[in-house]
């Protein structure tokens, strides 16, 4: 019970944290942000590992194997593609100053 209450508290705080984290984000970054948070929920990989480590029959092993495969795919693909995306953005431009000079 104690454990569950702690988990609930963490859940609520994490929800507020996630809510506050994304505020006044420029449109430009919506796609990379979506892609990066997509990679973060790949943390489900951890769940797959726990499942696969459980003593169980062939069914549990097979399901766990697929879950770990999916999770790793989510994590690696997600972070990798975000990195590629952001690599293309190049250095930022100070537009306002340039305009005023010209």
Partner 1 sequence: MQAATFLAYLAAAALFVLGIRRLRRPETARSGNTLAAFGMVIAFLATLFVIQFQGLLLIGAATLLGAVVGAVSAQRVQMTAMPQMVAAYNGVGGGAAALIALSEFYHLQIQGDESIVAAITVPLTVLIGSVSFAGSVVAFLKLQEIAFTGSVVFPLQQVVNVILFVGILVLGANAALDAAILPFLPPVASVTAVLVASLVLGVLLVIPIGGADMPIVISLLNAFTGLAAAASGFVLENYILIIGGTIVGASGTILTRLMSSALGRPLRKIIFAGIAASGGGKGEDQEERPVNDASAETVGEYLKDEAEKIVIVPGYGLAVAQAQTAMRDLVDALEAEGKEVLFGIHPVAGRMPGHMNVLLTEAGVPYEKLYDLEDINPEFDDTDAAIIVGANDVVNPAADDPEQDTPISGMPILEVEKAERIIFIKRSLSPGFAGVDNPLFYDTDKTMMLFSDAKQGLQEVVEAVKNG
Residue 60 in the binding site for partner 1 (CB under 8 A)? yes
Distance (Å, rounded) from C-alpha 1 to C-alpha 4?
5
Residue 2 in the binding site for partner 1 (CB under 8 A)? no
Per-residue three-class SS string for 33-49:
HHHHHHHHHHHHHHHHH
The single residue among 91, 97, 100, 101 that binds partner 1, judged by CB under 8 A, is 91
Q: Could you give the 3-state DSSP secondary structure of residue 70?
A: helix
What is the chain's alpha carbon radius of gyration, rounded to the nearest angstrom? 20
Residue 16 in the binding site for partner 1 (CB under 8 A)? yes
The single residue among 19, 58, 100, 101 that binds partner 1, judged by CB under 8 A, is 19
Min dist CB 101 to partner 1, Å, is 14
């Amino acid at each position: 019970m104690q454990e569950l209450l702690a988990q609930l508290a963490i859940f609520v705080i994490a929800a507020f944290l996630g809510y506050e984290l994304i505020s006044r984000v420029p449109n430009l970054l919506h796609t990379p942000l979506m892609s990066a948070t997509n990679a973060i929920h790949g943390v489900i990989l951890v769940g797959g590992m726990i499942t696969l480590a459980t003593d169980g029959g062939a069914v549990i092993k097979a399901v766990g194997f697929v879950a770990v495969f999916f999770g790793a795919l989510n994590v690696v693909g997600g972070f990798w593609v975000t990195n590629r995306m952001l690599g293309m953005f190049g250095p930022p431009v100070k537009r306002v100053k340039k305009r005023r000079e010209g």
